[in-house]
A and B are shown apart, each in its own frame.
Chain A
């Protein structure tokens, strides 16, 4: 019996080692190291194969059955997720850097991006398989084929994220059409591999339910890709008009980044913004009245006061105590057709709480 197992397992997958065989006879407990070693029992050619077939849908031989099922592994999903986390964070920073025009100095590494992308990606890779597995386990009926194992689903999901790594590199190119094309293409390819792989086990249930589940899977996949793109790589230009103070004596045209970018944990928007302030505001807008402290508050600075104190032309004396900025993001066009940032409200620390709306 043992010999027969040995030979059949050797036929099935060419890399079945004796270690896996002994683990069948005495399954190690979850507390031992050997338990987890089972899920790292892959070789380099196997991993490469699984990576390639994770985004090339082939209806005749789906990835799960033919490539993953003999020995599902956790190596691939783990390192693909980690790579994707760092890749997205780093490429997001590079996108900031390129968008700011290549200033060599202000390229920063933000940890919050890493933690946000890590939570998103790991929860996608772990929670969705868990939900799916529970669903399948709950709906199984007598006489069905053996239900999918949890590790198999995690494996499948993990490998399906592999295509997002090169896509995230390409997403630094700042053309929205290209970005959306890449996102849709990537999500479609790996999503179709997911669907094709999960179709046989799900088809045991009622067809309508299966279709619903599969379309939900596909929808979440698209959602992840779109979410990553929107959160980390979104940059467009708006032309805005900021009026100086309430009587509108100083005006300047400023280019600010997309309002969504203010929310993001990137730091370089202020740089391009401030550059434009420097370029535009002193020449066009200085008059005598603008040098009093009230007027100085009209310049919008977004994150830290020191950024704006670099402006020489107007003798700005912004105190380091915060001028808190809340910007509301509806962009409307006035009669002449200029887009404005309406209602950039600055609450100054000078106490009079003047709000400057545009």
Chain B
């Protein structure tokens, strides 16, 4: 994701003066303390920066993409700078919350941790391959990235359902959980179509959209079927 530019390497500062001391070193521009948001590519060798800054930068990129999923405006951000961190975080989060209890009988009901992973990743791959077979012009990883990031509404719904399940259950709460799940489903499909919609051939948009809908429907079903047992 980050570019390494070919600058003459400046002498590595010692640990405590990464707050820049530019005296006598005006040739190279240490911009370590300046966080980048993606608008300007950093012009330095990122191997020398503290890990904290690397992680913060990557997390900001992921968070930025999350925002773009919630309010899809600019297509380019998810597509051109794709990454799979976001899908991994979301998938892990959902798998942790969705897994059934391990100390009860075999079909206590929730999917296992690995089963959620399989559904999400194999499902995303299947939908991507379908789009490409229909003649789509999107690359494999871009499509998987978009599908993974658009799990965010469903993850939010899952979190909310988990909170609702802490209360005493009755039909009202069940309908509430269904409502969360359904809203998240429509939101996810809408967001995914905003990003992926233009990439399929004009007469096949419904054909490309249907597997996306099915994929998110299955995951929404998993969210609804979360139970307290």
| A residues neighboring B (CB under 8 Å) | 15, 33, 36-37, 39-40, 42-45, 47, 75, 78-79, 82-83, 86, 90, 93, 102, 104-112, 265, 267, 303-304, 306
Q: Are A110 and B109 in contact, with the CB atoms below 8 A?
A: yes
Q: Are A40 and B133 in contact, with the CB atoms below 8 A?
A: yes
Q: Are A44 and B204 in contact, with the CB atoms below 8 A?
A: yes
The docked-state distance in angstroms from the alpha carbon of A15 to that of B201 is 13
Q: Please tell me which one of the listed residues B115, B135, B170 contacts residue A104 in the complex, with CB atoms under 8 A apart.
A: B170
Across-interface contacts of B170 in A (CB, < 8 A): 104
Q: Are B203 and A43 in contact, with the CB atoms below 8 A?
A: yes
Q: Are B204 and A79 in contact, with the CB atoms below 8 A?
A: no
Residue of B nearest to A15 (CB): B203
Residues A306 and B104 in contact in the complex (CB < 8 Å), given A43-B204, A44-B203: yes
Interface string of B184-206 (1 = CB under 8 A from A): 00000000000000000001111
B2 part of interface (Cβ distance < 8 Å): no
Q: Are B132 and A105 in contact, with the CB atoms below 8 A?
A: no
Q: Which 9 A-B pairs have the closest CB atoms?
A: A108-B109, A104-B174, A109-B225, A40-B133, A43-B203, A44-B206, A304-B105, A105-B169, A110-B107
Q: Are A47 and B207 in contact, with the CB atoms below 8 A?
A: yes
Across-interface contacts of A93 in B (CB, < 8 A): 225
The docked-state distance in angstroms from the alpha carbon of A38 to that of B132 is 12
| B residues neighboring A (CB under 8 Å) | 104-105, 107-112, 115, 130, 132-135, 169-171, 173-174, 203-207, 210-211, 214, 217-218, 221-222, 224-225, 227-229
Q: Are B111 and A109 in contact, with the CB atoms below 8 A?
A: yes
Across-interface contacts of B135 in A (CB, < 8 A): 37, 40
Q: Are A106 and B115 in contact, with the CB atoms below 8 A?
A: no
Residue of B nearest to A105 (CB): B169
The docked-state distance in angstroms from the alpha carbon of A106 to that of B112 is 17
Q: Are A108 and B204 in contact, with the CB atoms below 8 A?
A: no
Q: Other CB < 8 Å A-B pairs besides A44-B203, A45-B203, 10 of them?
A: A37-B133, A42-B207, A43-B203, A102-B171, A105-B229, A108-B110, A108-B225, A109-B110, A111-B111, A111-B115
Q: Are A44 and B115 in contact, with the CB atoms below 8 A?
A: no
The docked-state distance in angstroms from the alpha carbon of A33 to that of B134 is 11
Nearest Cβ distance between residue A270 and chain B, in whole angstroms? 10
Nearest Cβ distance between residue A29 and chain B, in whole angstroms? 16
Q: Are A33 and B218 in contact, with the CB atoms below 8 A?
A: no
Across-interface contacts of B227 in A (CB, < 8 A): 105-108
Could you jot down 5 A-B contacts, CB within 8 Å?
Answer: A40-B135, A105-B229, A106-B227, A109-B110, A111-B111
Across-interface contacts of A303 in B (CB, < 8 A): 105
The docked-state distance in angstroms from the alpha carbon of A110 to that of B225 is 10
The docked-state distance in angstroms from the alpha carbon of A93 to that of B207 is 28
Q: Are A109 and B214 in contact, with the CB atoms below 8 A?
A: no
Residue of B nearest to A40 (CB): B133
The docked-state distance in angstroms from the alpha carbon of A107 to that of B170 is 13
The docked-state distance in angstroms from the alpha carbon of A317 to that of B165 is 28
Across-interface contacts of B134 in A (CB, < 8 A): 40, 75
Q: Are A267 and B171 in contact, with the CB atoms below 8 A?
A: no
The docked-state distance in angstroms from the alpha carbon of A81 to that of B115 is 20
The docked-state distance in angstroms from the alpha carbon of A177 to that of B107 is 30
Across-interface contacts of A33 in B (CB, < 8 A): 132-133
Residue of A nearest to B98 (CB): A109
Q: Are A86 and B207 in contact, with the CB atoms below 8 A?
A: no
Nearest Cβ distance between residue A154 and chain B, in whole angstroms? 15
The docked-state distance in angstroms from the alpha carbon of A42 to that of B221 is 29
Across-interface contacts of B221 in A (CB, < 8 A): 86, 90, 109
Across-interface contacts of B111 in A (CB, < 8 A): 109, 111
Q: Are A86 and B214 in contact, with the CB atoms below 8 A?
A: yes
Q: Are B108 and A108 in contact, with the CB atoms below 8 A?
A: yes
Nearest Cβ distance between residue B8 and chain A, in whole angstroms? 44
The docked-state distance in angstroms from the alpha carbon of A105 to that of B169 is 7
Q: Are B107 and A112 in contact, with the CB atoms below 8 A?
A: yes
Q: Are A109 and B109 in contact, with the CB atoms below 8 A?
A: yes
The docked-state distance in angstroms from the alpha carbon of A83 to that of B217 is 10
Nearest Cβ distance between residue B124 and chain A, in whole angstroms? 14
The docked-state distance in angstroms from the alpha carbon of A93 to that of B221 is 11
Residues A108 and B107 in contact in the complex (CB < 8 Å), given A37-B135, A40-B134, A75-B130: yes
Nearest Cβ distance between residue B137 and chain A, in whole angstroms? 13
Across-interface contacts of A108 in B (CB, < 8 A): 107-110, 225, 227, 229
Residues A104 and B133 in contact in the complex (CB < 8 Å), given A44-B207, A304-B104: no
Residue of B nearest to A75 (CB): B207
Across-interface contacts of B203 in A (CB, < 8 A): 15, 43-45
Nearest Cβ distance between residue B225 and chain A, in whole angstroms? 4
Residue of B nearest to A266 (CB): B107
Across-interface contacts of A90 in B (CB, < 8 A): 221
The docked-state distance in angstroms from the alpha carbon of A75 to that of B135 is 12
Residue of A nearest to B133 (CB): A40
Residues A79 and B211 in contact in the complex (CB < 8 Å), given A86-B218, A104-B170, A109-B222: yes
Residue of A nearest to B135 (CB): A37
The docked-state distance in angstroms from the alpha carbon of A308 to that of B1 is 56
The docked-state distance in angstroms from the alpha carbon of A15 to that of B202 is 13
The docked-state distance in angstroms from the alpha carbon of A75 to that of B211 is 10
The docked-state distance in angstroms from the alpha carbon of A12 to that of B36 is 57
Residues A104 and B169 in contact in the complex (CB < 8 Å), given A75-B130, A79-B210, A90-B221: yes
Across-interface contacts of B132 in A (CB, < 8 A): 33
The docked-state distance in angstroms from the alpha carbon of A265 to that of B109 is 10
